[in-house]
Amino acid sequence: MEDRRELIEKKYGFQVKNQYRARGAILFDTKDGPLLLREKMKLTGHFEWENEVKEHLRKNGMTLLDFAVKNVDGEYLTEAEDGSKYVLYRWFFGEECDCKNVTTIRLMAENLGQLHSSLQNFYEEPVLLQQPLLSRYDKHNREMKHVYGYMRGKKKKTEFERYAMQCFPNFYERAMQVRSQLSENLYYKEHSGQTKDVCHGEYNYHNLLLTKSGLATTNFEHAAPGVQLLDMAYFMRKVMEKNKWQVEKGVVLWNGYCEGAGCSKKELEFLITILSYPIKYWKLLNQYINSKKTWISNKSMEKLKAVCEQEESKDKFLQQMRTFTLGTSQKA
């Protein structure tokens, strides 16, 4: 582990007591509390805006947030002597959330609901959305078809290719159905062009920490104007995959989210549509076509099998979702 103690003390003025490994970063224990140093390979210039979003959340009662810290020069980005660039964040001592624990699942979902409720109408004027979801799905569908055609044309096929081809008809048909359903979805029509709302962008259990003071929400690097329910769809898919699409866990997720954000029938229908799209299958095919196709890792094969094998459980769950209630905080 590279020692960046001197960087923290000279460039930020903090007195370091100890440092630890963290996920892709270095965690420092200082007299001013824990701090996390992250190397920035791609510079986004996002930090000031992120802090504005977090300050807005703080004023709405969400206090456990990873604010970026300016260095002694008043900049968020700090360059080390070797040319590496870093950003420092206020951090927390805590544990990563257990996505199989019902109480924790409820807490994470309520937290997302509160975050979304607080970030509705963040902008005074609507902001145009960059890439409509429908266009993204059209692109994904073309890519899946292209990869399938490539695999089919190979004389000697790997186990991954044979298995992917076997699953293709079902997943591709589902993808085209979702595309058709989305084009007619009322919620999507109302929210696809522009918005005043902000999304977290990567809300999952890796970016949440259970601390003695409550749940800390971190890593807003992908935060942006957007359709907030896409956050919920991403989070729900991540948790449900870990729980093999157990209906009981899905009910807890949905009820927790509705408690924080309020829910409508249109939102439920939109969420079901988004979750129906075979995004994990597309992702695996996309990784395959962009990699050395002659060698596929065992992990990729395991992921493909899991996606195909869980499809029946996922279908049953999505059917059950249509019976979900809207909780006490219903929207019109």
Q: Tell me: do 89 and 106 sit in the same domain.
A: no
Whole-prediction pTM value?
Answer: 0.92
What proportion of the chain, given as a percentage, has pLDDT over 70?
95
Q: Tell me: do 195 and 52 sit in the same domain.
A: no
pLDDT, tens digit (0-9, with 9 covering 90-100), for 26-45: 999 999 999 999 998 765 66
Q: Angle at Cα 55 formed by Cα 270 and Cα 230, nearest 5°?
A: 15
Report the C-alpha gap between 23 and 92 in whole angstroms: 13
Q: Tell me: do 41 and 131 sit in the same domain.
A: no
Residue 218 binned pLDDT confidence (cut-offs 50, 70, 90): very high
Helix (H) or strand (E) holding 299: helix 298-309
DSSP characters over 74-130 = S-S-EE-TTS-EEEEEE----EE--TT-HHHHHHHHHHHHHHHHHHTT-SSS-EE-S
Report the C-alpha gap between 286 and 303 in whole angstroms: 13
Contact 308, 236 (CB under 8 A): no
pLDDT, tens digit (0-9, with 9 covering 90-100), for 186-201: 999 998 889 999 999 9
Domain finish residue from 70, 93, 116: 93
Q: Tell me: do 208 and 281 sit in the same domain.
A: yes
The count of domains in the chain is 2
Q: Tell me: do 156 and 286 sit in the same domain.
A: yes
pLDDT, tens digit (0-9, with 9 covering 90-100), for 104-154: 999 999 999 999 999 999 999 999 988 789 999 999 999 999 999 999 999
Residue with tokens 């700090």: 78
The pLDDT of residue 22 is above 90: no
Q: 332 in a domain, yes or no?
A: no
Q: Which range among 38-42, 59-63, 253-257, 309-313 shows the weakest confidence by mean pLDDT?
A: 38-42
Residues in CB range of 291: below 8 A, 6 or more apart:
none
Say if strands 127-128 and 78-79 run parallel, antiparallel, or are unpaired: unpaired
Of residues 292 and 319, which shows the higher confidence score? 319
Domain finish residue from 93, 119, 145: 93
Report the C-alpha gap between 25 and 170 in whole angstroms: 40
Average pLDDT on 254-275 reads: 94
CATH number of the CATH domain containing 66: 3.30.200.20
Average pLDDT on 80-92 reads: 93
Q: Tell me: do 79 and 120 sit in the same domain.
A: no
Report the C-alpha gap between 272 and 260 in whole angstroms: 19
Q: 330 in a domain, yes or no?
A: no
Q: Tell me: do 88 and 235 sit in the same domain.
A: no
Residues in CB range of 58: below 8 A, 6 or more apart:
65
Q: Tell me: do 70 and 113 sit in the same domain.
A: no
CATH number of the CATH domain containing 246: 3.90.1200.10
Domain that holds residue 47: 5-93
Residue 324: predicted pLDDT: 86
Domain finish residue from 26, 60, 93: 93
β-bridge partners, 90: 35
- Orientation angle between helical segments 279-289 and 229-242, nearest 10 degrees: 80
The alpha carbon of residue 76 and the mean position of all alpha carbons in its chain are separated, in whole angstroms, by 24
